[in-house]
């Protein structure tokens, strides 16, 4: 679903070129949940922007669903992002003059009755119903984060890129966010989350560790919760074969399957 090969991104500084990403290569399979961990300044957010078609690499290649977004015109790349990728930004990027409901609706390529119903369900499940008519300026940081998550999930993209999606949340709400992302993955979506914490690892198929712009290592988690050799494919199969009883946060993801655009890409 996502791949990058020998990805490099440098920035000009007074001291000379600074490599925020330095020869990064990896692949993420369709339906996989990847957590990208690393200390502040390790290149996590730069990587996410590059994967999302929002920051052109200095060298190397990026492919999403078998296509190179940087080989497209700016307009085509914007349409590609809208169709294929849901972003959860660390700084939210909500439209200040739209209320909660309209901010979520604004992220949809088509607003029909089914889409409106889906948005209302997400608003309820994310605990935003009392604030649905509120402007972003009146929301807490945690509420804004949940609006950003709902906006990404509402359009049911094949890929979600999330930058520190729980950085502004208390532990209970943070756990609920990861459960929702995991439910999205079980429905067939692909998730890449960047974080400096370790909470995402409990839900991820693999954890990729960055340090100083380079891949330091990749770990997988076996069924027993220990880092080991079980493949992401086997874990995804186990989750879908035995999903168990949906928890209270499964909501719309358990009741209605996502309809991801089909693609001949083998990734």
The pLDDT tens digits of the residues spanning 82-109 come to 889 999 988 889 999 999 999 999 988 8
In this predicted structure, the answer to whether residue 111 has a pLDDT above a threshold of 80 is yes
CA distance 191 to 251: 18
- Report the pLDDT averaged over residues 228-255: 47
CATH pick for 2-255 out of 2.40.50.140, 3.40.50.2300, 3.40.50.300, 3.40.50.150: 3.40.50.300
Higher model confidence: residue 53 or residue 227?
Answer: 53
Q: pLDDT at position 26, please?
A: 95
CA distance 77 to 197: 31
pLDDT-derived band at 238, boundaries 50, 70, 90: low
Residue 156: how many CA atoms within 13 Å on its side-chain side?
Answer: 20
Q: pLDDT at position 223, please?
A: 37
Q: pLDDT at position 126, please?
A: 87
In this predicted structure, the answer to whether residue 42 has a pLDDT above a threshold of 70 is yes
In this predicted structure, the answer to whether residue 191 has a pLDDT above a threshold of 60 is yes
Lowest mean pLDDT among 134-148, 183-197, 208-222: 208-222
Q: pLDDT at position 249, please?
A: 44
How do residues 44-82 score in pLDDT, each as one tens digit? 999 999 999 999 999 999 999 999 999 999 999 999 998
pLDDT-derived band at 265, boundaries 50, 70, 90: very low
Higher model confidence: residue 254 or residue 102?
Answer: 102
Lowest mean pLDDT among 26-30, 93-97, 175-179, 219-223: 219-223
Q: What is the pTM of this model?
A: 0.81
**DSSP character string of the chain:** -EEEEEEEEEEEETTEEEEEEEEEEEEE-TT-EEEEE--TTSSHHHHHHHHTTSS--SEEEEEETTB-GGGS-HHHHHHHHHHHEEEE-TT----TTS-HHHHHHHT-S---HHHHHHHHHHHHHTT-GGGTT--GGGS-HHHHHHHHHHHHHHT--SEEEEESTTTTS-HHHHHHHHHHHHHHHHTT-EEEEEESSSGGGGT-SEEEEEETTEEEEEEEE-TTSSEES--HHHHHHHHHH---S--TTTHHHHHS---PPP-----
Q: pLDDT at position 53, please?
A: 94
pLDDT-derived band at 225, boundaries 50, 70, 90: very low
Lowest mean pLDDT among 2-6, 94-98, 177-181: 177-181
Q: Residue 94 in contact with residue 144, Cβ under 8 Å?
A: yes
- Report the pLDDT averaged over residues 237-259: 46
Higher model confidence: residue 195 or residue 6?
Answer: 6
């Amino acid at each position: 679903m996502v791949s990058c090969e020998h990805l490099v991104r440098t920035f000009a500084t007074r001291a000379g070129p600074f490599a925020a990403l330095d020869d990064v290569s990896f692949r993420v399979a369709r339906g996989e949940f990847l957590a990208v961990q690393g200390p502040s300044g390790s290149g996590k957010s730069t990587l996410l922007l590059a994967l999302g078609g929002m920051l052109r690499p200095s060298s190397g290649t990026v492919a999403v669903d078998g296509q190179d977004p940087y080989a497209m015109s700016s307009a085509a790349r914007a349409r590609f992002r809208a169709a294929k990728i849901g972003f959860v930004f660390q700084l939210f990027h909500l439209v200040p003059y739209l209320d909660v409901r309209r901010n979520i609706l604004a992220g949809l390529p088509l607003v029909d009755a089914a889409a409106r119903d889906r948005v209302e369900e997400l608003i309820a499940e994310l605990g935003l119903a009392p604030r649905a008519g509120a402007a972003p300026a009146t929301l807490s940081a945690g509420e804004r984060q949940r609006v950003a998550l709902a906006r990404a999930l509402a359009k049911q993209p094949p890929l979600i890129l999330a930058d520190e999606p729980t950085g502004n949340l208390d532990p209970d709400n943070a756990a609920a966010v990861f459960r929702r992302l995991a439910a999205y993955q079980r429905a067939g979506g692909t998730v890449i989350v960047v974080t400096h914490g370790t909470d995402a690892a409990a839900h991820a198929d693999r954890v990729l560790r960055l340090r100083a712009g380079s891949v330091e290592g990749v770990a997988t988690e076996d069924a027993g919760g220990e880092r080991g050799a079980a493949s992401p494919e086997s874990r995804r199969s186990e989750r879908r074969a035995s999903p168990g009883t949906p928890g209270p946060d499964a909501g719309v993801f358990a009741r209605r399957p996502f309809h991801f655009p089909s693609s001949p890409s083998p990734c």
